[in-house]
Amino acid sequence: MNAFFQLYRASLKEYTRDRMAMFWTLAFPIFFIVLFGIIFSGNNDTVFDVGVVVEDKSQIGTALEQVFVKVPAFKVTEGTRDALLEKLKHGDLRIVIIIPNGVSDSVSSGKTANIETYYDPSNQTTAQIVLNIVEKVVDGFDQQVTKRPTLLAIKPVSIASDRLRAIDWLLPGILAMALMQLGLFGTAPALVQLREQQVLRRIGATPLPRITLLGSQVLHRLTIAVAQTLLILIVGVLMFKVTVIGSAILLAGFVLLGASMFLAIGYLVSGLAKTQESVIGISQLINFPMMFLSGLFFPVDIMPEWIRPVVSAMPLTYLADALRQIMVGATPVYSLGLDSLVVGIWLVVSMALAVKFFRWE
Partner 1 sequence: MPAIEVQDLKKYYGDTRAVDGVSFAIEQGEVFGMLGPNGAGKTTTTEIIEGLRLPDSGTVRVLGLALPQNTRRVKGLIGVQLQTTALYPRLTVREVLDLFSSFFPGEKRSTDTLIDMVNLHEKEKALSKDLSGGQRQRLSVALALINKPHIVFLDEPTTGLDPQARRSMWETIREVQKSGATVFLTTHYMEEAQELCDRVAVVDAGKIIALDTPNTLISQHFKESVIEFQLTGEAPPEGTFRKLKGVTRPGIRENGKVTMYTTDSTATLGGLTDLAEAGTVKFDSLYVRRATLEDVFLKLTGKHIRE
Provide, rounded to whole angstroms, the least separation between the CB of residue 329 and partner 1. Answer: 42
In which element (H, E) is residue 54 found? strand 48-54
- Residue closer to partner 1, measured from CB, 22 or 311: 22
Q: Where are the alpha helices (DSSP H) in 185-209?
A: 188-196, 199-204
Distance between start and end Cα atoms, the chain: 25
- Residue closer to partner 1, measured from CB, 3 or 250: 3
Provide, rounded to whole angstroms, the least separation between the CB of residue 356 and partner 1. Answer: 19
Provide, rounded to whole angstroms, the least separation between the CB of residue 304 and partner 1. Answer: 46
Provide, rounded to whole angstroms, the least separation between the CB of residue 23 and partner 1. Answer: 15
Q: What angle do CA 11, 251, 182 make, to 5 degrees?
A: 30
- Residue closer to partner 1, measured from CB, 185 or 297: 185
Provide, rounded to whole angstroms, the least separation between the CB of residue 354 and partner 1. Answer: 22
Radius of gyration of the chain (CA): 24
Check: CB of residue 192 under 8 Å from CB of residue 279: yes
Provide, rounded to whole angstroms, the least separation between the CB of residue 269 and partner 1. Answer: 21
> Other CB atoms closer than 10 Å to residue 208's CB: what's the count?
13
> Other CB atoms closer than 10 Å to residue 153's CB: what's the count?
5
d(CA 98, CA 56): 9
- Residue closer to partner 1, measured from CB, 124 or 193: 193
Pairing label, strands 95-99, 116-119: antiparallel
Residues that bind partner 1 (CB under 8 A): 2-3, 5-7, 10, 13-14, 17-18, 197-199, 201-208
- Residue closer to partner 1, measured from CB, 203 or 336: 203
Check: CB of residue 255 under 8 Å from CB of residue 179: yes
- Residue closer to partner 1, measured from CB, 187 or 350: 187
